[in-house]
Amino acid sequence: MVAEQYLPPWFSVAPMMEWTNNHFRTLARLISKHAWLYTEMIAAETIIYQSGDLDRFLAFTPEQHPIVLQIGGSNLENLAKATQLARPYGYDEINFNCGCPSPKVAGRGCFGASLMLDADFVAKAMSVIAANSDVPVSVKCRIGVDNHDTYSELCDFIYKVSTESPTRHFVIHSRKAFLKGLSPADNRKIPPLKYEFYYALLRDFPDLRFTINGGINSVDEVNAARNEGAHGVMVGRAAYYIPWETLGHVDTAIYGAPRRYLTRRQVLEQYQKYGDSVLGKYGKNKPNVRDVVKPILGLFHAAPRNGLWKRNADAAFQRCVTLKSFFEETLEIIPDWVLDKPLEEYSSNCIVEAFANSKNLLPPPYAKEEKEYSEQDRMYD
């Protein structure tokens, strides 16, 4: 499989630790045929040290294409080995994590957002990953880290990585990261969004491809960002917490595909087959019913009796050992019309001005020529 076989990544689901696993991706693909899916971040060391059990971390069904593997690490040799081990699984792109602000990752100076402070290493890492893979590579990063948050510093990072490695795609989370003092959750909402940095990158690096990420929670916002020129848009928690309303409109409203008249009941029937086939696959009740049900807990968001269904689901976890028995015990709470009603046809119901307004705040153009000149000078020092 190669990425060219699929529609462009106009909409992608963000990599989210412990969330965008095989279970969620299976659900997401049942709802949307065209959204690009990312794995949760997998550390290079995990891939290497679990080489005897790689399917548990890297295997996915063919239906999940197009799918991107996100990898994390700070050791070039390990990144090379991990990429080699992942290669037979046939991912459509390999993404390198330079944006995670978690203290477990960036706070220790290991990898994640802290790598934005070392563009030389990231360029080497991307060259190593590309050399050991046969698919495109990309970087997911923030717009800055701590006090290194100017537009010029962001451009320096992009310039270095793109000119010294095969990287041509960057996913830009439009907030900076604080490596200390803020939790990962706070890092997703406290640093201000600066979409103007993203749109300035489109202006200053016309030969590269950029996906915008951060604070985007609806199809309306995705379309608004794209209408202002975004190459692609990445959505995170809205796709997980509200999968029916968010992912359900991606194919028609973003990709222009015909309406499928899909129902929640049809999705759950297919998901049940998947879930019961993987229960206990990795021994010691891993995964269990709770693990496999977790991604569907948002499927009835805002629907009648959703709260009661969730309460009953929590009790059913104590008794049910198959998804079939779990659904038999809990789904009778949800009205039939909710289960059998196709998603309503998409219609835009709000005006989004954030991206248009951001284009009025663009920073001055990046002095790329000056950068190239100074680097040439250093070569002859």
| 17 appears as a binding residue in the annotation | yes
Instruction: Tokens for 20, please give them.
Output: 């965008």
Q: Where are the alpha helices (DSSP H) in the chain?
A: 22-31, 44-49, 55-58, 76-86, 119-131, 151-163, 184-187, 195-204, 219-227, 237-241, 243-247, 264-278, 289-293, 306-316, 323-330, 336-340, 354-358, 368-379
User: By the 8 A CB rule, do 274 and 21 touch?
Assistant: no
The position carrying tokens 């049940």 is 272
What is the pLDDT, as a whole number, of residue 180?
A: 80
DSSP H or E run through 125: helix 119-131
| 72 appears as a binding residue in the annotation | no
Rounded to whole angstroms, how far apart are CA atoms 294 and 288?
10
pTM: 0.94
User: By the 8 A CB rule, do 96 and 126 touch?
Assistant: yes
Give the type of residue at 44: A
Q: Give the pairing type, strands 36-38 and 42-43.
A: unpaired
96 bridge partner residues? 71, 139
Question: Which residues of the chain are under the pLDDT cut of 70?
Answer: 1-4, 102-110, 369-381
User: By the 8 A CB rule, do 254 and 11 touch?
Assistant: yes
What is the pLDDT, as a whole number, of residue 2?
A: 44
| 15 appears as a binding residue in the annotation | yes
| 280 appears as a binding residue in the annotation | no
| 214 appears as a binding residue in the annotation | yes
Active-site residue numbers? Answer: 100
What is the pLDDT, as a whole number, of residue 288?
A: 96
| 173 appears as a binding residue in the annotation | yes
For residue 328, the SS3 value is helix
The radius of gyration computed from the CA coordinates of the chain, to the nearest angstrom, equals: 21
| 140 appears as a binding residue in the annotation | yes
What is the pLDDT, as a whole number, of residue 109?
A: 43
